[in-house]
Chains A and B, each alone.
Chain A
Amino acid sequence: MNSLGVVMLVHADLDRAEQIARHWTASGCPVVIHVDRKVQNDVYSAFATACANDPLIRFSKRHICEWGGWGIVAASQSAAEQLLYSFPNVRHVFLSSGACLPLRPIPELIDYLAERPRVDFIESATTADVTWTIGGLDLERFTLRFPFSWRKQRKLFDFYVRVQRSLGVRRKIPEGLVPHMGSQWWCLTRQTLSAILQDPKRKSYDNYFRRVWIPDESYFQTLTRLYSTHIESRSLTLSKFDYQGRPHVFYDDHLQLLRRSDCFVARKIWPRAERLYQAFLTDQASAIKPAEPNPGKIDRLFAKAVDRRTKGREGLYMQGRFPRHRKGSALTAFPYSVFQGFAELFEDFEPWLANTTSACVHGHLFDPTGAKFASNEATTTGGLSSCAKLRDYNPEAFLSNLIWNTRGERQCFQFGPFDTQKICSFLAQDKNAQISVISGAWALPLFRSNLNFADIRARSARLQQIESKQLQALATARSGTRIRIWSLAEFVESPMEYLQVVVEDIGITQPNHLAEAPKMVDLTGFGKFMKNLKNQGMHPYLVGDFPEDDIFGSRSKTYTKPYLVQ
């Protein structure tokens, strides 16, 4: 007869439960099984008959167990009482379920507990210390009433909680009790457990906890604090919960992970995980030296899963994730830069930028004739096509796809009033978009074109209108360093300084200063051109005040050739 006894709560997959029970008894541990009263009687009696040939397996009085209800506590109480009564040698009682699976040989657990004869293993923390409560209810679990089911009558449940909150209704917590919560799966000593079960005040405690929400996570956790001489506030059962409070399930492919965890018992095991049952229920070699349970890896795996479910991968749009756009959120996966007017002002801006920053520099991605990818190809990463019709059918998807497909590599592209404009508000909203604008630079290609002046006038009027709309859209976006706007006149005053700023924004730090500048287009006569436009009644105000003689300060011929700085 052994010093470890097991209480097993079972409601489904009875054949697995029998297998586990026999595994416990094979090492001499008596097992008292509680079968949910919702299980049909004939199924129950077949199960009981199947187990009848094992004298160490007993069955306790059956209760109806609902999630979050009192039944589970009542079941644990009856079974534990029976176990303590029938098997007087038992010193530790281990609460488990039919979906629990012992991962290490039972004798190891017996030895582990024998070395710690006075220790109660029960996760038990005050309400202030737990972070995993569902529905934001922690202390209120103990002070409100919960007549409605959280799973089946959620609206009524929430409504009734709100009503009680607003009326300030509070239940009184019985004197001497300090609410504690923790995992439902514990391992208690006979002394502590019998003290709880034989407490003269048990009836009043039971009546109180009957109306507490999810009492199986607080009844023993709270009462143990009254009697235990030595609590280790952790569970010997490895059990992880997702963000909705449902237990994570283990499958065959978790075999190695479970093996290396050195935990004694894990739940919940998928009943058809044949390989797991096979591996852990057959004789296995004991660990060479007794190890402490170390579920770190499994913790991380499930923490990641919860993170994926609640936050997901930023900037990803797919069949399982389609977030609503919220202001100030990232709409794409990775920061990228948009340049407006730079390619017009500098002849070799794109190769220069690629060279200086080692980013991937595209041309005008939203060119009306088709996207100008850096590679100059018809398709780019992910099979994204340069076809204008496909792109303009859903430009937001086009851009977020491009950024997602190239995540990890900084993307830069040119934009301007010549391009299709549907993407504009997306750019303004996306916090990953780093936008630099030289307003009025659209005048440069017109200045250098061979068009009739009437056409130039009409075109510049239209381009200015488009750009001014863009700037309005950008102005409504969040302020911050991610949007920089210069007028053309302002920019040519000190281009190197501003280029430096732009390059620094990309985040690729330069050892010192920019060593090489891109070649600016020849601006000779541009001032005159501006004046002509004005005289014709088209006021190019976005260009800024451009001197008629093209002379800024004393530097007269600076901009006609590339130059080295500092």
Chain B
Amino acid sequence: MSLLDSYRMRLRRKRRLIRCVRKRRELKPLRNATKSIRPDDILLVCVVRNEKIRLPYFLDYYRRLGVDHFLFVDNDSTDGTAEFLTSQSDVSTWSTTASYRKSTYGIDWSNYLLRKYAHGHWVLTVDPDEFFVYPFCDSRPIRALTDWLQGTGVRSFGTMLIDMYPKGRIEDVPYREGQDPFEIAQWFDSGNYMITRNPTYGNLWIQGGARARVFFQDTPKKAPALNKIPLVKWNRRYAYVSSTHSLLPRGLNQVYEEAGGEKTCGVLLHAKLIDTLGAKAKEEVARGEHYRGSGEYQAYADQLDAQPVFWNDWSEKYLNWRQLEILGLMSKGNWA
């Protein structure tokens, strides 16, 4: 990497930071309980819009893993999301009516909250339909992982997004508030992921899975990226550049081993492909606030009318993290 490249990356990072600080004016605090954050608390940052139905289980799930405080940005919800969030004692909420697209799909807002409140903390940045699974997550809380990462001098933790889907058509089983979405979407593709290295930021670019197989078989290049780096020991100089796919400085993207070994890594189970997708896709296409002019949601909206079934004979039923590790979808690395 040449000096010029390094300098260019530095500028890019600064630009992201300046941008996020400028965008802070768009965030209006609804309930700011960040004073109660203790120095070694584990935090979670999340941007939501009309996701109230998902939130009770989401909060539950991450509280059980040991997240101490939640920082939410509510982007103009109309379904009572804000009211629900402000009633939770371990949640701080900001609201904004500004454009999701113009805030680089929420990343500027997240970057601001991270910079302001997460400096020196281990912090998860996830979407409300992403559920973090890491090695030993059934017996060790997330703090065991972060303590270990800290002890081995690791600052960031890599995952892959796994699209989970139900056995039949996705609108067959309605999702109830508070329910574990993986009671409905129990299935996933175990071995059709395509990986290349992104030379710009040094992260891996992973595509594939159920969405690529069903929605993007004619345009595989447009299939959504599945590589995510959601868990970082944050520093105010850091910045996410595109969703949580990559960060700056680039060293944080080196969550994979190139010399043959396996680094410890996890997955984000993706509960997108349930009955709430149809309404969401229609709404987001109309708003046009998502990546590539909501191109991804356009594809969903177009094809959902055909009522696709993701399940096939080769689908794997989700059991636990050990199954994922045997399938090669995550790794314990040298954490034993």
Q: Which residues of A contact B (CB under 8 A)?
A: 151, 242-244, 246, 248-249, 251-253, 270, 272, 301-302, 304-306, 308-313, 316-324, 377, 379-385, 387, 389-390, 393-394, 397-398, 401, 404-405
Decide if B334 touches A323 in the complex (CB within 8 Å): no
A47–B62 alpha-carbon span in the complex (Å): 33
B147 in the interface, Cβ–Cβ < 8 Å? yes
What is the number of contacts between chain A and chain B, taking CB atoms within 8 Å? 173
Interface size on B, residues (CB 8 A): 61
Decide if A394 touches B196 in the complex (CB within 8 Å): yes
In the bound complex, residues from chain A placing their C-beta under 8 Å from that of B333 are 305, 308-309, 320
Decide if A319 touches B265 in the complex (CB within 8 Å): yes
A246–B152 alpha-carbon span in the complex (Å): 7
Decide if B147 touches A270 in the complex (CB within 8 Å): yes
B193 in the interface, Cβ–Cβ < 8 Å? yes
Decide if A382 touches B262 in the complex (CB within 8 Å): no
The verdict on A389 contacting B218 (CB below 8 Å), with A321-B331, A322-B195, A322-B204 known, is yes
Decide if A251 touches B136 in the complex (CB within 8 Å): yes
Partner among A302, A379, A387, A394 whose Cβ is within 8 Å of the Cβ of B314: A379
Greatest chain B CB density within 10 A among A302, A306, A394 is at A394
Stretch with Cβ within 8 A of A (4 or more), from B22-30, B96-104, B113-121, B205-213? B205-213
- Over the window 114-158 of chain B, the binary record of Cβ atoms lying under 8 Å from chain A Cβ atoms (1 yes, 0 no) is 000000000000000000000010011101100110011100001
* A402: nearest chain-B partner, CB-CB: B191
Decide if A321 touches B189 in the complex (CB within 8 Å): no
- Over the window 186-223 of chain B, the binary record of Cβ atoms lying under 8 Å from chain A Cβ atoms (1 yes, 0 no) is 00011111111100000010101110110011111100
**A/B interface sample: 7 pairs, CB < 8 A:** A151-B153, A243-B334, A320-B333, A323-B258, A377-B313, A389-B220, A401-B193
In the bound complex, residues from chain A placing their C-beta under 8 Å from that of B261 are 308-312, 321
Partner among A244, A320, A380, A384 whose Cβ is within 8 Å of the Cβ of B152: A244
In the bound complex, residues from chain B placing their C-beta under 8 Å from that of A246 are 151-152
Partner among A151, A313, A383, A405 whose Cβ is within 8 Å of the Cβ of B213: A383
Decide if B213 touches A390 in the complex (CB within 8 Å): yes
A301–B332 alpha-carbon span in the complex (Å): 12
- Over the window 303-336 of chain B, the binary record of Cβ atoms lying under 8 Å from chain A Cβ atoms (1 yes, 0 no) is 0000000001111000000000000111111111
Partner among B136, B213, B264 whose Cβ is within 8 Å of the Cβ of A320: B264
Partner among B143, B331, B336 whose Cβ is within 8 Å of the Cβ of A272: B143
Interface of chain B residues 258 through 276 with chain A (CB within 8 A): 258-265
In the bound complex, residues from chain A placing their C-beta under 8 Å from that of B218 are 389
In the bound complex, residues from chain B placing their C-beta under 8 Å from that of A301 are 336
In the bound complex, residues from chain A placing their C-beta under 8 Å from that of B206 are 319
Decide if A321 touches B220 in the complex (CB within 8 Å): no
In the bound complex, residues from chain A placing their C-beta under 8 Å from that of B330 are 318-320
Decide if B160 touches A305 in the complex (CB within 8 Å): no
In the bound complex, residues from chain B placing their C-beta under 8 Å from that of A393 are 194, 220-221
Partner among A242, A272, A397 whose Cβ is within 8 Å of the Cβ of B193: A397
A270–B149 alpha-carbon span in the complex (Å): 13
Which 9 pairs show the lowest CB-CB distances between chains A and B? Answer: A382-B191, A383-B189, A320-B265, A309-B334, A305-B336, A393-B220, A405-B191, A397-B194, A394-B194
Decide if B256 touches A320 in the complex (CB within 8 Å): yes
- What's the minimum C-beta distance from A402 to chain B, rounded to whole angstroms? 8
Decide if A324 touches B336 in the complex (CB within 8 Å): no
B252 in the interface, Cβ–Cβ < 8 Å? no
Decide if B191 touches A242 in the complex (CB within 8 Å): no
In the bound complex, residues from chain B placing their C-beta under 8 Å from that of A318 are 160, 193, 195, 256, 262, 265, 328-331
A384–B296 alpha-carbon span in the complex (Å): 21
Partner among A270, A322, A381, A394 whose Cβ is within 8 Å of the Cβ of B191: A381
In the bound complex, residues from chain B placing their C-beta under 8 Å from that of A401 are 191-194
A243–B151 alpha-carbon span in the complex (Å): 14
B47 in the interface, Cβ–Cβ < 8 Å? no
Decide if A320 touches B147 in the complex (CB within 8 Å): no
Decide if A253 touches B315 in the complex (CB within 8 Å): no
* A406: nearest chain-B partner, CB-CB: B191
In the bound complex, residues from chain A placing their C-beta under 8 Å from that of B335 are 305
Partner among A249, A311, A313, A319 whose Cβ is within 8 Å of the Cβ of B158: A319
In the bound complex, residues from chain A placing their C-beta under 8 Å from that of B194 are 393-394, 397-398, 401
Decide if A382 touches B263 in the complex (CB within 8 Å): no
- Over the window 69-106 of chain B, the binary record of Cβ atoms lying under 8 Å from chain A Cβ atoms (1 yes, 0 no) is 00000000000000000000000000000000000000
- What's the minimum C-beta distance from A399 to chain B, rounded to whole angstroms? 11
Greatest chain B CB density within 10 A among A246, A324, A385 is at A385
Partner among B139, B227, B263 whose Cβ is within 8 Å of the Cβ of A253: B139
B159 in the interface, Cβ–Cβ < 8 Å? yes
A377–B153 alpha-carbon span in the complex (Å): 47
* B138: nearest chain-A partner, CB-CB: A253
* B153: nearest chain-A partner, CB-CB: A151
A316–B312 alpha-carbon span in the complex (Å): 23
In the bound complex, residues from chain A placing their C-beta under 8 Å from that of B259 are 323-324
In the bound complex, residues from chain A placing their C-beta under 8 Å from that of B46 are none
In the bound complex, residues from chain A placing their C-beta under 8 Å from that of B263 are 309, 320-321
Partner among B147, B159, B212, B262 whose Cβ is within 8 Å of the Cβ of A390: B212
- What's the minimum C-beta distance from A299 to chain B, rounded to whole angstroms? 11
- What's the minimum C-beta distance from A430 to chain B, rounded to whole angstroms? 15
In the bound complex, residues from chain A placing their C-beta under 8 Å from that of B5 are none
- What's the minimum C-beta distance from A78 to chain B, rounded to whole angstroms? 26
In the bound complex, residues from chain B placing their C-beta under 8 Å from that of A405 are 190-191
Decide if A312 touches B190 in the complex (CB within 8 Å): no
A251–B151 alpha-carbon span in the complex (Å): 15
Decide if B192 touches A270 in the complex (CB within 8 Å): no
